[in-house]
Structure 1
Amino acid sequence: MNQPLKQLLAAELIPRIKAFLRERLPDYMLPRQYLWLDQLPLNASGKVLRSALPLPAAARRITESTYQPPRTPLEQQLCGLYTELLGIERVGVLDSFFDLGGHSLLAIQLLARIQPLVKQTVPLKTLFEAPTVAELAARLGTEPASALPFGLGKMSGMPPLKLRPAPPGQLQKLSYSQALWWTIFPTPAELAHGIQNSYAGIRLQGHPDPDALEAAIQAIIQRHEALRTRFASLNRRPRRVIDQAIAFALPRYDFAGQSEDAAIAALEAAAQAPFDLEAGPLIRAALYRLRPDLHLLMLSVSHLVFDGWSLKQFLAELQPLYLAQTQPGYVAQLPELPIQYSDYVYWHRKWIKQSVIRHQLLYWLRLGKDMPVVLDLPTDKPRPTHLTLAGSSVSFSLPAGLVRDLQSLAQRQDATLYMLMLAAFQVLLSRYSGQADIFVGTPVANRPVRELDAVMGLFVNFIVLRGNLAGQPRFVDFLEQLRQTCLDAYAHQDLPFQILFKSFRAYKTLTSWQRFATQKTMRSNVMFNLIDDVGADFQLGELQASLLPLENRFASQAMHLILLKQNQGIQGQLNFSADLFHRETIESLCQQYLSLLNQILAHPEQTVGPKPG
């Protein structure tokens, strides 16, 4: 190509090339990168010398070499939002949100920021179809709000989210997320069980100041009412009680001369110990000293007032508050919280009653029609009439190179890494069970507006993702099917799962959902989750801080695959019910999952599904 066409190449020709290739190639063969070459390397015969072509990893991407700045106010705002959420210095209008490292959770956060700017609902599907700033700005500028389906954070009918101070000690209704826990775990012993704890262990290398840590944690507790919450009963119905202040102390334990494994075992036992839900407090922490320059910090909070997003926010606030205690003159710059958890509960219940149920309930009822009640996995032990919470976990690792290749494959299919890893997991479950109709549950953040980003509490909701592997589809075709399933589910994720329980009486013919959504079957099924490293950017002043891999000794489902992005790789943990499986079986499944991922990379067009016979 002639040099004057270089700018035209980036701005106009690449979309034309993509459209041309889509008409002639299957999706998995479409190129994801376009490289600028001044000329093609030729051999003496005038043929292209392929061995001299630059490798994509060693070459600059065309969007980097031909950076296109924003041209309109909307493009400028979108570039700013991409930069903020993705943590990069510069974004051009030709850069794709997903190519730059975006994923479904970040995409939801992005849309929560975009919707107030454009004053219309923006479905997640729109971002997948128009991932670059230029494409998204064009879609937002031309698509009328009335043409957009109901989805995350609907602008019309959403009441204002305002501060409504809750009197200390007053009994208040649970959130829908909290009420779900009382449905799945109906006994006090199960609700207070250690499986309900959200916890973390942090290795601190250096010389921490225990008093400063204690003061910093106390400040976080005072800042967030969720951490000052306990529970009471009103006419046999659970209610929240918010204390104005709670006494917090950071116990210190000396493990000098003992192994780190011994300290970790003590930390795990303390982290998974039950809480007294009525007496409170529902947060504890402890510091374990191995050497003057090596400590372990334990944090444990009842899941009834805390979730994974809250843990990341907790660590983000602990950094400046600790520095404010240890560095003279340092002032923690934490923005004032616009709302508290009680404000969210009031707002959310009002919003749900107004609009979400009638828009989203039918979707989930239709999805559940004829769905198997339980994923019939072969078990090592007879299924008991009542599953206990006894469990264990098997850990495994995916190296950075493998994760990078999987990410690249997902991008070529216009999917996310989450979708690809879930698709592979469903293929594994299909082959293991012999079933073609595979469904798993997965948590979603359930923070539809930006005001909720910095608020701690239990917000998480659950959705069911159903895959159909009948007819031995190619993996790339199944991934496309699951991609569409995920996008549809995300568009209807606002409906609290708790509400489905109350809706079954009016839909008696849809017996699959009725039987599925019971305490027994909910705890007999399978969960999947892929999460970012919550401690990726965590540090405490001059201390070197890193999260400890902790073993889960309990299980609330038959299986739960948790994939944690960490250091460019993935740390996997497959939790399992000890009532159903032997450890050797789960270890074998983990190895099969790793093998399957490598097979998919080598042959993404291979057929998948339950093995015949």
Structure 2
Amino acid sequence: MTARSLTIPATAQQAARWRALRTARDRSVYHVTWRLGCAGRVDFDALAAAWQTVTNRHESLRSRFEELDGELKMITEPAVDAVAQLIEPAVPEAGRAAEEFARVAAELHLGEFHLETGPMGRLALVRIGAQQEIILTIHHIAVDGWGMTVLFEELSAAYVSLARGEKPFFAHDAVSFHDYAEKLRAEEAKGRWRRTIDHWRTALDGVTLGTVAHDRELGRPTAVGDPGTTVRYRFSERADAARSALAQELGATPFAVMLAAWQIVLARGGERESTIGVRSMNRTTRSELALVGLVSNACLVRATVDDGASIREVIGAARDATWDVLGRQGVPFPVVHANLPQETRSRLTNVKLTLNYLGPIGRNLSLGDVRLTMLETPNRAARADMVVGYWDGEDGILSETEYNTEAYEEETVLRMLRDMDEVLVAAGEDLDRPVGGVRVRTRSALAAW
């Protein structure tokens, strides 16, 4: 832990989120909430102490943000009081417990973060009778999905020790976010990003964004912070098996196979060219894997899918594009965007569709002997038209898709996911089948700028 306040320039991604919040209709759009059902009773005092321990370890959780001399600064305090609450609502009717848990989770998720003062996270234990849920909410300026996993692993380890009356022990000190941010600044100052920036200037020249066709005409482009929600979908066993088999046969990542399935759905839905945002973990070293504060990068994959192309060819192209992205993920997208020609920048003010692979997130979670279940997030705002997040659940591919509720009905999102499912199954049956022979119900369209 630092002995005094430290002030450094915010990273490009932190600054981009700060700017986006100025115009967002709903500032909770960058709140990351884990809602966890508990299969046993949790010791709140041990949980609160564990949360303080984890907050003490990580600079990002002890930081705040302030504009000084026209530049956004990250100010890390030597200590902060971690916010932990025990909430025990009075619910007279036992059958209404689920409704009350959902209400409390939404309320906690929506609670405003004051980035100028901090803190960046909060934790609550909600008890209704014998049932309990843990609600962990952290601002996306300070953490991403992988960082949440790192935090929760440490929270669990600290909880086990404290519940036994022991002092928490960690084998290694927390990785310094300040050191990471300094490394980024040094790379940019030495011109090491120039080749990647030049690549994206060429690769994105003339780009046209597409989207899933809206159910309602808004009369304006969709924007970050529009009203939104999430919907869960479990892919079929056949789709899951096909994804794994195709990845192995074609030397592709499972992510590339999922990306190709979505590209085919969009192409068959009406737009041959698609540009999909992909979230890249951007953690290539052991220290980066343990770092809290690094935020996954956004990259763009552009594809043109013709009816005469085979499914094999589309997956192969997605495979090559994915490997290309992995080699260029180190330059933050806000830096890339700032260096694009004005016309290209204007087309990319808000990426409409994003695919995000979350790995084994939410699997085998526990606090000591209390098993935890990841419940659906209580999102109320949308970052894009659709953000398809998916992970490898205990019994297959599980998806949670965030979408703009002013533009779409839930059934439209589910129809698109079912189309992806069926494309995966079709690919597993016949890789050389022409894309033109694939039937989908999703309609795609050019996006309004």
Superposition TM-score, scaled by structure 2 size: 0.90
In terms of Rg, which structure is larger? 1
| Partner Cα separation in structure 2 for residue 299 and residue 382 of structure 1 | 36
| Partner Cα separation in structure 1 for residue 206 and residue 140 of structure 2 | 32
- Residues 385 and 404 of structure 2 are in contact (CA less than 8 Å); yes or no, is this contact kept in structure 1? yes
Partner in structure 2 of residue 14 of structure 1: none
Q: Give secondary structure in 2 for the equivalent of 1:575.
A: strand
**What do residues 346-391 of structure 1 show as CA deviations (whole Å, max 9, x unaligned)?**
111102322432221121111112221x215422222433535211
**What do residues 5-34 of structure 1 show as CA deviations (whole Å, max 9, x unaligned)?**
xxxxxxxxxxxxxxxxxxxxxxxxxxxxxx
**What do residues 123-172 of structure 1 show as CA deviations (whole Å, max 9, x unaligned)?**
xxxxxxxxxxxxxxxxxxxxxxxxxxxxxxxxxxxxxxxxxx96744432
Give matches, 1:477-492, under 5 Å: 477-492=313-328
Q: Which runs of 5+ in 2 are unaligned?
A: 444-449
2:421 to 582, 588, 594: 594
Partner in structure 2 of residue 228 of structure 1: 62
Query: Is residue 411 of structure 2 the alignment partner of residue 584 of structure 1?
Result: yes
Output the amino acid matched with 2:373: S
- Residues 174 and 290 of structure 2 are in contact (CA less than 8 Å); yes or no, is this contact kept in structure 1? no
- Residues 526 and 560 of structure 1 are in contact (CA less than 8 Å); yes or no, is this contact kept in structure 2? yes
Partner in structure 2 of residue 498 of structure 1: 334
Query: Is residue 341 of structure 2 the alignment partner of residue 514 of structure 1?
Result: no
Give matches, 1:358-377, under 5 Å: 358-372=194-208, 374-375=209-210, 377=212
Output the amino acid matched with 1:310: G
Output the amino acid matched with 1:537: N
| Partner Cα separation in structure 1 for residue 3 and residue 281 of structure 2 | 28
Query: Is residue 271 of structure 2 the alignment partner of residue 431 of structure 1?
Result: no
| Partner Cα separation in structure 2 for residue 197 and residue 400 of structure 1 | 32
| Partner Cα separation in structure 2 for residue 584 and residue 214 of structure 1 | 40
| Partner Cα separation in structure 1 for residue 311 and residue 318 of structure 2 | 10
Deviation at 1:575, TM superposition (A): 2.0
Alpha carbons of structure 1 residues 566 and 261: separation in structure 2 relative to 1, 3 Å: farther
| Partner Cα separation in structure 2 for residue 337 and residue 400 of structure 1 | 41
Deviation at 1:336, TM superposition (A): 2.9
Give matches, 1:203-602, under 5 Å: 203-255=37-89, 257=94, 258-292=96-130, 294-328=131-165, 330=166, 332-337=168-173, 339-372=175-208, 374-375=209-210, 377-385=212-220, 387=222, 389-400=226-237, 402-432=239-269, 434-504=270-340, 507=341, 511=343, 513-518=344-349, 522-523=350-351, 525-602=352-429
Output the amino acid matched with 2:405: A
Deviation at 1:436, TM superposition (A): 1.2
Give matches, 1:92-131, under 5 Å: none
| Partner Cα separation in structure 1 for residue 192 and residue 439 of structure 2 | 40
Partner in structure 2 of residue 108 of structure 1: none
| Partner Cα separation in structure 2 for residue 326 and residue 264 of structure 1 | 28
When you count strand as a share of all residues, which structure comes out higher?
A: 2
Give matches, 1:64-83, under 5 Å: none
Deviation at 1:468, TM superposition (A): 1.7
| Partner Cα separation in structure 2 for residue 250 and residue 166 of structure 1 | 22
| Partner Cα separation in structure 2 for residue 337 and residue 177 of structure 1 | 25
Output the amino acid matched with 1:335: A
- Residues 337 and 345 of structure 2 are in contact (CA less than 8 Å); yes or no, is this contact kept in structure 1? yes
Alpha carbons of structure 1 residues 275 and 566: separation in structure 2 relative to 1, 3 Å: same
Q: Which runs of 5+ in 1 are unaligned?
A: 1-164
| Partner Cα separation in structure 1 for residue 417 and residue 112 of structure 2 | 30
| Partner Cα separation in structure 2 for residue 166 and residue 607 of structure 1 | 60
- Residues 338 and 451 of structure 1 are in contact (CA less than 8 Å); yes or no, is this contact kept in structure 2? no
When you count helix as a share of all residues, which structure comes out higher?
A: 1
| Partner Cα separation in structure 1 for residue 146 and residue 211 of structure 2 | 32
Deviation at 1:527, TM superposition (A): 0.5
- Residues 231 and 239 of structure 1 are in contact (CA less than 8 Å); yes or no, is this contact kept in structure 2? yes
Output the amino acid matched with 2:271: Q
1:201 to 21, 35, 60: 35
Q: Bigger relative contact order, structure 1 or 2, given CA contacts below 8 A and separation 6+?
A: 2
**What do residues 249-306 of structure 1 show as CA deviations (whole Å, max 9, x unaligned)?**
42112246442232133113312332111122121111111233x3100000000011
Deviation at 1:413, TM superposition (A): 1.2
| Partner Cα separation in structure 1 for residue 105 and residue 310 of structure 2 | 46
- Residues 398 and 569 of structure 1 are in contact (CA less than 8 Å); yes or no, is this contact kept in structure 2? yes
Identity of aligned residues (%): 21
| Partner Cα separation in structure 2 for residue 331 and residue 537 of structure 1 | 24
Deviation at 1:439, TM superposition (A): 1.1
| Partner Cα separation in structure 2 for residue 343 and residue 498 of structure 1 | 20
Output the amino acid matched with 1:220: V
Deviates more, 1:481-490 or 1:349-358: 349-358
Partner in structure 1 of residue 446 of structure 2: none
- Residues 337 and 455 of structure 1 are in contact (CA less than 8 Å); yes or no, is this contact kept in structure 2? no
Alpha carbons of structure 1 residues 287 and 459: separation in structure 2 relative to 1, 3 Å: same
Superposition TM-score, scaled by structure 1 size: 0.67
| Partner Cα separation in structure 2 for residue 382 and residue 401 of structure 1 | 36
